[in-house]
Structure 1
């Protein structure tokens, strides 16, 4: 059936279901959504359950859009006239892509009104569909710039979404039924995550990251299975760590022109880290893989989905994101293939324990035949201490170092570990476990923290309540000082005892190198590892006991400071949690593939899962292809 015929059929079905008097002028696929254009958005707003009914019956994501959107300047005045002044509206952002207006307010409940009455009143006045979020306590420059950029490329986005929408909803032609996964990286190694999911109709790339040790850092993107890139239907991004997202813009440099699906925080954090990645690579005189224009291209082609939203991304594939518990917005990507033919999930990195920031990873799915799961700590001896014990060791370390007049350097990923350690240290000061002092945040940590406060719905309920109901926001504590200049960095290095949380987490570039080169010779100081150090990285070498490490091509750093490793802060599940994740999984998959771990760890975990659960397991090699069905 031609797309035009399908759209006409859908329009007829919609007209049969809506109350008389509501007119539907047009329907159109835009990205994964079915957009209903109408002259009566106010009537749709009055029918509170109508959109839910249409979405259920048509099995599509439905968006209502008026034929003519009110001018944003006039709409702002209308919104402010409807909403009580005590709502504290701080920003109003119009998204012509979706016909939505995002209203930031200090008191979202006032904007929503009892049972949504104020929101419906806004829709009646302006036609735009209002969404309300709480004003973030820390303004994010990244989020602001991305919103402004998307607004500036509105017409390009609309053309792109319509093209993708028609591609997604094209007819299934092939009579064959098979599902294959090709390993393009991240097998028996940590980093350069990339997997190709293929059916006779569709090809989807899951992640596209670099390898942290800077050697063989690119996934196998040149193999024939993935070429030409123009034939890819979609890229799905599980989360915003560089070993998963760094090389997504490279795809656009080589000809890809399709969508990248992720959660909203993953899009924003990825763009922030990709730009920082380019800066670090440039300063280290390494080959720059792409330019900032490709990062913009990625943002322009991004499509964001919230947890639990079932979405068509290809004619025979539906995608659903679930909480992975690893970092802000991290997702387990669940693919439903065909009409109940096969279900497969990729965990990305995940954490099956509750942390200060996030709830445990989801492991209940409607259906699941195959699972690709990370194995970073999959070895039989990879059991981490409880988070409480790790925090006590951190407090003890900080107390000892500061008492002898030293400084504590904590290399950490800007996203995830930094915020976990920040919250632990802030509470340690409040409970007088450690003395009050300055905690300096260097690299992208402050901006990443601002993005955390922009998306409170992705944090666990305890932290949300603490911030928004109890009025205690640990991210705003006076002890945290962002390092925003080389001059301040110099004063920190020469100044009083303190804690420095800085990027990068594995010492492969970033401001941590300046702190290390200036502070490593003093044995009063300490370098505290709180996250995974991949083989081949400078962090792993120092962790193993190297007392002199290279700095650039001609210099070296003598390591006299104390080296401390504190396990228990990782955003990855340890061996016990990985096994429990499978034990409590509903339903149990028929096949499990252990990936994203050193060779011994992936093999050990696969073997143990098979012995305990009698599930078919594999520890695949890069460049292998497995047929699922």
Structure 2
């Protein structure tokens, strides 16, 4: 589109809105068209007209108050407190002068919104400011505070990003949309460093940019950003499927490398991604193995992130429209549906997904408007990857914990901070509350506490059952007194040396670093104790060696090498994984609607990726491919 088309859009908006709308300006802001009005009532009273405009123009339309009609911020704060019931328990109010929003943080955001949005509409009418309503986390979250601080203090920089982005997105494509291809830059026929480049004649979009935390050298740790197809200057957008480091851990490097464009993901993914990236940097520095980026690059990523809700459609380049859908893997995990050209081709990238309802999340989405090509994970795609049901896994875990506690031992569960930890917390809280296992302290160590705080701030992304429990029954399992936050080394030592039985959930999940390794060294030589693996153990990790049954393991201890004799019980319990097992993967393809023409498998060991692809082809007569890293596959 040209600047003239923006004039045409303004004429259409002015003609459709009431005569007293008094539209002062219309501009592109990222994927949206923003119209400024000198009559704030237009914002609240003509939602149907705005929705019709958006449908007709096929663009997101935002109506904002002109600067001239905004009430003074101090008077607005008084007005907000006058309009919003005290029961909402407002904890913070600040202003975004660029977006004309008053940002209201409250313990009960529903009361700020009001019945059918009446309270928030009242704020607009009386102040001109549009309320942006945020939840005060029941558990204080340092990361959410940091993210909000960065956004609050960089509104003008974000506005500049969106204006520049708007010009790029809304220009006409220079070339016909007669092809599309995907280049595999990491995570193909392997697990870790997931990354791929989607190219069309007019766009370059990076899907995930992860690291392999278990890699023995940098050559295998990071994506192949040096492929000839990839140019940081030509990159239009980055889409992050979810917050695990093997999908987002190398994103800050893009900003070190010179990228200044947007990242698209859900709000929980942005917050959890920030948490994990900062922790990754800290661990690397402690281990004297610094990463090729630092905290300022993480901050730049926050500033450049555009968050989307599930089902929200947005243009991200001249010829690609993105919609995120629930993936059921971890909080905020998303499948990316990309509408390429004017319906020329549709690509779905699943990221990691779980096609089963869990205590934490709803199952992955299977319905899309169209999906000619699907790129799907194959972590457990081998024919032998049959896992027990979630119910069976829970019973097996509780049986193991019961036996360990009865003999006076301690249970160590090395667990990923995001997803599995919260799933286990919900299970343990229920079993202990009902007296099905002894009530002992459940110690939460590493990033798990902060990740859990982020979960409590985003309950709308949790499963329906869990939301009902939190909102309607008034029982939030995450804030139970059973859980004890571990703060320092001395407290860890006290936990280990105490004769009392206990359960310890600690990162990292593969024993590749973090406090779980320290607990392991302290506990592994006592046969009363038990270590339970509940997640994938990557080849090369300490967790995989322990899982394989190694009885003598040399590890660093107080600056010296020491051989640890493994006497504790080692138990692997499948069924808690956030990945789909073989049956669920096959069932997912069967239920995809519409059925794709081509499926590419990724994120799995070579045998599993190939086995899943060949089985899908045999069973459903769908063309399949299993690319290797550095392959380019034409999908259109």
TM-score normalised over the length of structure 2? 0.96
Say whether residues 1:587 and 2:588 are aligned partners. Answer: no
Q: CA deviation at 1:75?
A: 2.0
Matched residue, 1:64: 63
The residue that corresponds to 1:283 in the other structure is 286
Aligned equivalents of 2:525 and 2:134: distance in 1? 48
**Which residue pairs with 1:253 in the alignment?**
256
- Residues 71 and 563 of structure 1: is their aligned pair in 2 closer, same or farther, counting only changes over 3 Å? farther
Shift of 1:554: 3.1
Moved over 4 A (4+): none
Residue 26 of structure 2 corresponds to: 27
The answer to whether residue 354 in structure 2 is matched with residue 354 in structure 1 is no
Distance 1:366 1:439, change over 3 A: same
Equivalences for residues 421-432 of structure 1 within 5 A = 421-432=424-435
Distance in 1 between the 2:38 and 2:608 partners?
A: 59
Conserved? CA contact 1:212–1:534, under 8 Å: no
| Cα offsets for 1:89-141 (capped at 9, x unmatched) | 23335444533334333444432333322221111112222244544321211
Could you say what secondary structure the match of 2:512 adopts?
coil
1-side partners of 2:376 and 2:18: how far apart?
Answer: 47
Match of 2:368 in 1: 365
Alignment check: 8 A CA contact 1:88 1:107 kept: yes
Q: Deviations over 1:140-196 (max 9, x none)?
A: 111111111111111111111111111111211113511000000101100100010
- Counterpart CA distance in 1 for 2:409 and 2:342 is 62
Q: Which position in structure 1 is the counterpart of 2:610?
A: 603
* Counterpart in the other structure of 1:144: 145
Please report how far the alpha carbon of residue 356 of structure 1 lies from its aligned counterpart in structure 2 after TM superposition: 0.4
What is the alpha-carbon distance in structure 1 between the residues aligned to residue 620 and residue 22 of structure 2?
A: 56
- Number of residues of Structure 1 aligned to a counterpart in Structure 2: 627
1:507 aligns with 2:508: no
Matched residue, 1:45:
44
Tell me, in whole angstroms, the C-alpha distance in 1 between the residues paired with 2:76 and 2:53.
Answer: 27
Return the alpha-carbon distance in structure 2 between the equivalents of residues 547 and 74 of structure 1: 69
* Partner in structure 1 of residue 230 of structure 2: 226
- Match for residue 79 of structure 2? 78
Which position in structure 2 is the counterpart of 1:460?
463
- Give the whole-Å Cα distance in 2 for the aligned partners of 1:605 and 1:71: 61
How far apart, in 2, do the equivalents of 1:95 and 1:404 lie? 58
Shift of residue 57, structure 1, vs aligned partner: 1.4
Structure 1: tracts of 5 or more residues without a match: none
* Residue from 379, 392, 395 that aligns with 1:392: 395
Contact 1:377 1:572 in 2 (8 A): yes
Give the C-alpha shift of residue 58 in structure 1. 1.3
Aligned to 2:180: 179
Does 2:173 align with 1:155?
A: no
Q: 1:421 to 1:27 in 2, by over 3 A?
A: same
- 1:480 is aligned, of 478, 483, 505, to 483
Deviates more, 1:197-206 or 1:128-137: 128-137
Deviations 1:199-256 (A, max 9, x none): 01000000000113123110101111112x0210000000000000100001111111
The residue that corresponds to 1:7 in the other structure is: 6
Cα deviation, 1:586-614, whole Å, max 9, x if unaligned, reads: 00000001110011100100010000000
CA contact (8 A) 1:44 1:50 kept: no
TM-score by length of 1: 0.97
Equivalent residue number for residue 295 of structure 2: 292
Q: CA deviation at 1:406?
A: 1.0
**Structure 1: how far apart are the matches of 2:101 and 2:333?**
24
Q: Which residue of 2 aligns with 1:538?
A: 542
Give the root-mean-square deviation of aligned CA atoms. 1.4
Per-residue deviation at 1:64?
1.6
Which stretch shifts more, 514-523 or 66-75? Answer: 66-75
Shift in Å, 1:257:
0.8
